[in-house]
Amino acid sequence: MEQPDSVIHQPVRLKIMAALKALPHGEAIEFVRLKAIVGATEGNLGAHITTLEDAGYVAVQKDFLGKRPRTRVSMTPQGRRAFDAYVAYLQEIIGMATPS
Name the pTM for this structure: 0.89
- Closest Cα to residue 19, out of 83, 92, 89? 83
Give the pLDDT confidence of 66-85 residue by residue, as tens digits: 999 999 999 999 999 999 99
For the chain, list the domains and their CATH numbers.
6-97 (1.10.10.10)
Q: 95 pLDDT exceeds 90?
A: no
Provide the pLDDT for residue 2.
78
H or E stretch including 87? helix 77-97
How far is the CA of 15 from the CAs of 11, 21, 34, 45, 68, in angstroms?
6, 10, 9, 11, 27
On the 0-12 / 13-18 / 19+ scale of CB atoms within 10 A, 43 is exposed
